[in-house]
Amino acid sequence: MIAIPIDALSLDAKSSKLFGNVNFFAIYEPEKKTFEFLKNTESGNGIKTAKLLHDSDVTTTVYSYMGDGPFKSLNEDRIDVYYIGKEPMSLHEIVQKVENGGFIKVDANNASVYLDPGTSSENCECTCKA
């Protein structure tokens, strides 16, 4: 299952620039080709958000801005992480690109290049204690 951070509960929603502070995720089930919505009950804590995705059987997630703590947690739980760039995209476009290898898969070897918490200080400012 693919988790896409979103700000609005709609199939017309675009991806959110946020990850740990996002309110919802659109969860795509490839076998059924359907979306469900997941409320981020851990909003404000990127590591707990990552664990929520793991507990929801997510196998892949995408992001625009993500800090080191959530990335490490996702990586430890063997959830594939893809950088989609800074501009919001439609859910269907994201799914198509993930399935066709159109995004950069972030791993321990390239994380320092692609991780960015999206803060003015360029450091994580949440309370996740990374």
Residues 50-99: pLDDT tens digits?
A: 999 999 999 999 999 998 889 999 999 999 999 999 999 999 999 999 99
The answer to whether the beta carbons of residues 1 and 57 sit under 8 Å apart is yes
| Structural contact between residues 82 and 102, judged by C-beta atoms closer than 8 angstroms | no
Kindly report, residue by residue over 31-54, the tens digit of the pLDDT. 999 999 999 998 888 899 999 999
Q: Which residue has the tokens 């659109």?
A: 26
Q: Which token pair is 73?
A: 């947690």
| Fold entry, domain 2-114 | Nucleotidyltransferase; domain 5 (3.30.420)
Answer left, alpha or beta for residue 71, where phi above 0 means left and psi between -120 and 50 means alpha: alpha
| Closest to 91 measured CA to CA, from 20, 21, 3, 22 | 3
pTM metric for this prediction: 0.87
Domain boundary assignment for the chain? 2-114
pLDDT at 120: 42
